[in-house]
Amino acid sequence: MNSRRNFIIITVTWALMNPFTSAVNVYFSLFILELGGSIVDVGLINLVSMVTLSVSRLFGGYLADVLGRKRVIVPMTILYAFSNLIFVFAPDWRFLLIGNFICSLALMYQPALMALVGDILPSERRGSGVSLMNAPSQLLGLAGPPLATLVVSSQGLERGMRILFLLVSLSTLLAGIIRLLLVETYSSRTELSFGHAIKEYRNALRFMRGDLGKLIAISSSVVGIYNMAYPYLQVYAVKYLGLSLELWGLLSTLTAIISTISLLISGYLTDRIGRNLTMALGYLSACLGLLLISLARDPLSFSIALIVNVIFASSPASQALLFDLTSEEVRGKINAINGLVEGSLSGTMSAVGGLIYGFSAPFLFSLASLLLIPLIIGSLKLPRGKIS
């Protein structure tokens, strides 16, 4: 009964937040440029955000396994809500840097939230379970790109983005209040201390040997490559290929629809054909999509490239396999370690992407495609996972 209640609360709060977070993502890099930043500053903001997030997840993962999941999730969700107000009133791009830093600190609740998800989903349904929990937020998230397009078209880029960030803040605050209804899934009698945290993470690192370590290395590297390329995709579309803000918003809506469908299909296949093969297919579609993006020279070829890029999702498989390979008592810390590796790589690669974009925009996307190839091969060597 409690698992069902938590399942509903997480699903509802994700669905409440996602339309507005997906809306601000449509034009965020362009918003940085609008407030006086450069392409390099786009990479810098992503670097600070990712590195801060990776470190904050370490604290959040430890607290999740000592204080409990709920006691981390609720206050940090509310802090995240208020942090977004910085974007609403930011006078220049440097305040966006500060806002991303504070938001990344607040997002230390992510390992706790994912640990709670792992606690309530049975092993034989983890792939489909993750997809089902995400499905409503993905469906409602489809409203994000057209909402962003409508607001930015009518209000202008700067004013429109401030309005959208205000909606992010309000929806997240409501989500934090709803999460007060969560039921705790894990409790520990361990005393909270810095020394104990070091010891716990040292012990958690022992679980990183073998398949779990390989999974984290591969999935984190893939996310790092994504973050090398994707923050510059909207800039590439509008500034390099000459697409209008409205057309970019329309394409974002189209890819969001396809991503939602692909997420459900991938979740089903994760539990049917295995985690590793589903992951490899997801990485392969991203690889081909990035290659086609580098070759695109007009709106039609660019649109086809975007569709190929999102036609198959890898996240349900990678998350399900991570749950399979971790036990309840270390799940929060393992998610935090995964976040540390993933965030450090993502931030670094994002900054590198900004430098490469300045040298040659098409080369950035073709390089990202090339880097994915060995990771596709490596994912096929991971465990198939629990098959229903």
In a domain, 51, yes or no: yes
Report the predicted TM-score, pTM, of the whole model to 2 decimal places. 0.74
pLDDT at 121 over 80: no
Residue whose token pair is 């900054």: 351
pLDDT band at 388 (very low <50, low <70, confident <90, very high): very low
SS3 content of the chain, % helix, strand, coil (to 5): 85, 0, 15
Predicted confidence (pLDDT) at residue 9 exceeds the cutoff of 80: yes
pLDDT confidence of residue 387 = 42
Of 65-79, 100-114, 331-345, 356-370, which range is least confident? 331-345
Is-contact 217 15, C-beta < 8 A?
Answer: no
Q: How far is CA 370 from CA 36, 103, 104, 284, 311, in A?
A: 33, 32, 30, 11, 19
- Per the domain annotation, does 388 fall within a domain? no
Indicate if the alpha-carbon torsion angle 250, 251, 256, 261 is positive or negative: positive
For residues 300 and 312, give the distance between their C-alpha atoms in angstroms, rounded to a whole number: 20
Euclidean distance between CA atoms 317 and 190, whole angstroms: 32
Q: Which two tokens stand for residue 1?
A: 């009964």
pLDDT of residue 120 exceeding 60: yes
Region 86-107 average pLDDT? 95
Comparing 376 with 320, the larger pLDDT belongs to 376
Q: Which residue has the higher pLDDT, 263 or 304?
A: 304
Rounded Cα–Cα distance for residues 285 and 308 (Å): 6
Task: Evaluate whether residue 387 is within a structural domain.
Answer: no
Task: Give percent above pLDDT 90 in the chain.
Answer: 48
Q: Is 296 helix (H, G, I), strand (E, B) or coil?
A: coil
CB atoms inside a 10 Å sphere around CB 13: 24
Using a 10 angstrom Cβ sphere, with 0-12 exposed, 13-18 middle and 19 or more buried, the burial of residue 381 is exposed
68 φ, ψ (degrees, to nearest 5): 115, 160
Smallest Cα–Cα separation from 253: which of 300, 307, 295, 205? 307
Q: What is the mean pLDDT of residues 84-89?
A: 97
Q: What is the pLDDT of residues 297-344, one digit of tens each?
A: 888 999 999 999 999 988 888 888 888 888 777 777 787 788 788 888
Mean pLDDT on 63-86 = 92
**pLDDT for 385:** 63
Q: Using an 8 Å Cβ cutoff, are 285 and 312 in contact?
A: yes
The pLDDT value given to residue 86: 97
The predicted pLDDT at position 331 comes to 72
Mean pLDDT across 115-144: 77
The predicted structure's pLDDT at residue 181: 93
Which of these, 171, 163, 14, lies nearest to 81 by C-alpha position? 171
Q: How far apart are CA 251 and CA 302, in angstroms?
A: 9
Query: Looking at the domain assignment, is residue 385 inside a domain?
Result: no
Q: How far apart are CA 15 and CA 115, in angstroms?
A: 19
- Look up residue 345 and give its two tokens: 């790589």
Report residue 116's pLDDT band, with 50, 70 and 90 as the boundaries: confident
Q: pLDDT (tens digit, 9 = 90+) per residue, 206-242?
A: 777 788 889 999 999 999 999 999 999 999 999 889 9
Return the pLDDT at 189.
Answer: 63
187-209 per-position pLDDT tens digit: 766 666 667 777 777 777 777 77
| Number of structural domains the chain divides into | 1
Q: Who contacts 180 (Cβ-Cβ below 8 Å, separation ≥6)?
A: 74
In this structure, the number of other CB atoms found within 10 A of the CB of residue 373 comes to 12
Domain that holds residue 273: 2-184+194-379
pLDDT at residue 78 tops 80:
yes
Output the domain CATH number for residue 145: 1.20.1250.20
Q: Per the domain annotation, does 117 fall within a domain? A: yes
Confidence of residue 170 (pLDDT cuts 50, 70, 90): very high
pLDDT of residue 8 exceeding 50: yes
Rg for the chain (alpha carbons), in Å? 20
More confident residue, 139 or 204: 139
Percentage, residues of the chain above pLDDT 70: 95
For residue range 339-362, list pLDDT tens digits in order.
788 888 888 898 899 889 988 889
Mean pLDDT of all residues belonging to the chain = 88
Q: Are the C-beta atoms of residues 170 and 162 closer than 8 Å to each other?
A: no
